[in-house]
């Protein structure tokens, strides 16, 4: 049976023909041709010779399309014979015979046995028009050498590149990031050709929804042809980018600012799906309240993971500047990063503002959301104290209880984000006052803003530092305390040491749910592993007295800055400062309370892991 390649998306046509048929369906440029599908026990020659009598396919390429070829498990790349530049019907018939005979070669049998692939009873063959190539090659939409999905690789050679396609020559290599940025560039392709190949390959990979190995050729006129499409079969199942999020748009801008302070370094998948999702839901709650998002969605919009690190999407966070009257793109950048992206990123997110009445209404809704900061802070404090995860002996019941607890964690971080947004809004207002409304504040404006938020009283995160400083000042002359901090813990009847340890216990009682990288579910809290806290205290004692110098107080800075502004701006700043500083304190408190809720969930996950370990369902209780 002879079938046009454009209509060859059937099992009997074999892997190569099916891949080409899908390319035809995508309407990308593919050399025309046929697939010859022999019938078992019958001669294929009469039908092919009859077809060739009226064909103008010459010169032609003849290649195998075995039933198992170019599959997801095995590619058979270079195993079967291919014959190029067939100039006549006789040459094509001879080439088909050669291709079919190669199925019985010893190397093919060894390859088939290695991948446990059965030998087919028929052997389809593709006959295609030759492309008079000046450049040809293959592009992998994942790097098969180092198994990285964030890198693409092009191998290119001059002419038709028969050795390259057979796998006996690597040719020249071009390395790209997955967004098309050139990492390594050779001499055979210019940037326009690389971009053309990349864009075509991306379209094909998206259509196939997997990493692809794609053969291509460029002719004398500069036209790009696709010669083969098959899945990459050499990638590892577990890889660096397996949990990477999708992009909202090409060249989406992400930042580690803000989230990187709370969660430095890589995170585990469980942390991403629990802690990360809570952050995402908190942001969605805020944007829905402000009219910048219609409703909650299971998609990840504002928060994503790449390379097992957490990122905010600045491109999506800027959505609010289109929907809410007083929210400029620069304000959003400052609230998240404490700075503006500037001209180096260009117009990474064109803002198309909505109608004035809608933005005015949404601004009112945002004020309403932010005004709930105090109420939601109290609600979160109550939630953190009362919340618990029921302990169950049955594994399935314990898992169900955990699933039921996750909405509570999402609620906790939604309350925290309300307080955090209130703080960010006040800081944006302060920056606008200091810069006189300029979109580009100068270094002095940033310095003044930092001074105005210094020496905050009753800030949750600062309480640990202040307590450790107080302990240092109180016990820095005690040899017993210094020895206890620097050696193995031992019992002692010393009143001084007992008093010191009592204060440590008070500190852990109040802040024991916290630690460095406290959002990571694998990280043990200070109450679970006090040595982490002792290490911080030991470093403080080793650091000695701090030189305060002639540092100005907050009150001195405040008076100086307000006097410098003068007039109405100074009076407005004076009015804004008190609620702004209180908002910072609420932000830190709600962060602590949200972490407290998560700490209880983490303990429940550990309990579940222990039960699974005892039932032989896990090798250890470490959360991966």
Contacts of residue 420, defined as CB under 8 A and 6 or more positions apart, other chains included, come to: 587, 590, 591
| Residue 11 near residue 3, CB atoms below 8 Å | no
| Residue 349 near residue 318, CB atoms below 8 Å | yes
The β-bridge partners of 598 are none
Which stretches within 344-394 are classed as H helix?
356-371, 373-386
CA separation for the pair 213, 234 (Å, rounded): 10
Res. 112 pLDDT band, cuts 50 70 90: very low
CA separation for the pair 207, 19 (Å, rounded): 11
- pLDDT recorded at residue 441: 73
CA separation for the pair 31, 72 (Å, rounded): 24
How many angstroms separate the Cα of 287 from the Cα of each of 244, 319, 516? 23, 9, 29
How many angstroms separate the Cα of 554 from the Cα of each of 423, 448, 545, 624? 18, 11, 21, 45
Res. 254 pLDDT band, cuts 50 70 90: very high
Supply the pTM of this predicted model: 0.74
Which stretches within 276-394 are classed as H helix?
277-289, 314-317, 319-323, 329-337, 356-371, 373-386
| Residue 563 near residue 569, CB atoms below 8 Å | no
Res. 104 pLDDT band, cuts 50 70 90: low
| Residue 63 near residue 128, CB atoms below 8 Å | yes
- pLDDT recorded at residue 205: 94
Higher pLDDT, 82 or 315: 315
CA separation for the pair 388, 602 (Å, rounded): 11
Q: Are strands 172-177 and 182-184 parallel, antiparallel or unpaired?
A: antiparallel
H-run or E-run covering 573 = helix 567-614
CA separation for the pair 507, 11 (Å, rounded): 69
Percentage of residues in the chain having pLDDT higher than 90 = 52
CA separation for the pair 219, 217 (Å, rounded): 7
What digits encode the pLDDT tens for the residues 140-173? 999 988 888 889 999 999 988 765 665 556 689 9
H-run or E-run covering 404 = helix 395-434
CA separation for the pair 518, 263 (Å, rounded): 7
Higher pLDDT, 424 or 401: 401
The β-bridge partners of 267 are none
User: Which range (51-55, 333-337, 437-441) has the least confidence?
Assistant: 437-441
Mean pLDDT of the chain: 86
Tokens representing 78?
């270079």
What digits encode the pLDDT tens for the residues 402-454? 999 999 999 999 999 999 888 888 887 888 888 887 666 777 887 888 888 87
**Prior bond to 167 cis, omega within 30?**
no
Cα atoms in the Cβ-side hemisphere of radius 13 Å centred on 349 = 23
H-run or E-run covering 152 = strand 151-158
Domains of the chain: 1-130 (3.30.1490.20), 131-242 (3.30.470.20), 245-371 (no CATH), 460-552 (no CATH)
What digits encode the pLDDT tens for the residues 531-568? 999 999 999 898 888 655 545 677 888 898 998 888 89
């Amino acid at each position: 049976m002879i079938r046009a390649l454009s209509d060859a998306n059937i099992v009997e046509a074999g892997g190569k023909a099916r891949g080409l048929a899908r390319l035809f369906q995508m309407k990308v440029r593919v050399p025309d041709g046929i697939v010859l599908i022999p019938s078992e026990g019958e001669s294929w020659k009469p039908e092919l010779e009859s077809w060739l009598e009226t064909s103008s396919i010459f010169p032609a390429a003849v290649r195998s399309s075995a039933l198992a070829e170019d599959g997801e498990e095995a590619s058979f790349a270079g195993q079967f014979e291919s014959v190029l530049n067939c100039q006549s019907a006789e040459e094509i018939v001879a080439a088909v015979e050669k291709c079919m005979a190669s199925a019985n070669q010893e190397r093919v049998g060894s390859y088939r046995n290695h991948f446990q692939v059965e030998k087919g009873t028929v052997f389809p063959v593709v006959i295609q028009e030759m492309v008079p190539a000046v450049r040809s090659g293959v592009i992998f939409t994942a790097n098969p050498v180092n198994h990285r999905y964030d890198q693409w690789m092009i191998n290119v050679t001059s002419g038709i590149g028969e050795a390259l396609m057979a796998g006996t020559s690597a040719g020249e290599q071009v390395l790209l990031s997955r967004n098309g940025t050139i990492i390594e560039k050779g001499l055979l392709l210019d940037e326009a050709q690389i971009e053309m190949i990349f864009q075509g390959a991306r379209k094909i990979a998206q259509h196939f929804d997997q990493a692809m190995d794609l053969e291509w050729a460029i002719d004398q006129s500069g036209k790009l042809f696709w010669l083969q499409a098959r899945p990459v079969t050499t990638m590892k199942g577990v890889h660096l980018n397996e949990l990477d999020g999708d992009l909202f748009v090409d060249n989406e801008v992400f930042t580690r600012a803000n989230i990187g302070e709370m969660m430095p370094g890589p995170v585990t998948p469980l942390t991403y799906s629990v802690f990360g999702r809570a952050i995402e839901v908190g942001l969605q709650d805020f944007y829905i309240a402000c009219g910048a998002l219609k409703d909650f969605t299971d998609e990840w919009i504002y928060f994503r993971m790449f390379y097992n690190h957490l990122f905010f999407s600045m491109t999506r966070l800027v959505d609010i500047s289109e929907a809410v009257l007083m929210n400029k793109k620069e304000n959003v950048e400052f609230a998240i990063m404490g700075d503006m992206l500037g001209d180096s990123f260009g117009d990474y997110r064109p803002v198309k503002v909505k109608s004035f009445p809608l933005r005015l209404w949404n601004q009112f809704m945002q004020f309403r959301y932010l005004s709930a900061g105090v109420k939601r802070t109290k609600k979160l404090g109550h939630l953190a104290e009362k919340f618990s995860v029921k302990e169950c002996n049955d594994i399935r019941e314990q898992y169900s209880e955990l699933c039921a607890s996750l909405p509570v964690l999402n609620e906790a971080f939604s309350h925290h984000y309300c307080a955090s947004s209130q703080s960010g809004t006040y800081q944006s207002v302060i920056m606008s006052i200091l810069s006189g409304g300029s979109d580009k504040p100068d270094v002095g404006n940033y310095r003044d803003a930092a001074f105005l938020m210094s020496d905050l009283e009753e800030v949750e995160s600062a309480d640990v530092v202040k307590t450790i400083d107080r302990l240092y000042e109180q016990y820095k002359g005690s040899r017993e305390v210094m020895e206890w901090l620097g050696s193995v813990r031992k019992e002692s009847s010393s009143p001084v040491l007992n008093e010191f340890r009592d204060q440590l216990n008070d500190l852990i009682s109040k802040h024991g749910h916290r630690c460095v990288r406290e959002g990571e579910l694998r990280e043990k809290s200070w109450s679970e592993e006090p040595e982490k806290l002792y290490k911080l205290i030991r470093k403080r004692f080793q650091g000695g007295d701090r030189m305060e110098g002639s540092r100005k107080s907050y009150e001195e800075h405040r008076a100086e800055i307000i006097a410098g502004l003068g007039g109405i701006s100074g009076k407005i700043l004076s009015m804004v400062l008190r609620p702004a500083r209180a908002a910072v304190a609420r932000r830190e408190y709600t962060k602590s309370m949200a972490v407290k809720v998560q700490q209880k969930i983490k303990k429940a996950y550990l309990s579940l892991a222990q039960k699974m370990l005892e039932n032989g369902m896990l090798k250890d209780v470490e959360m991966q």
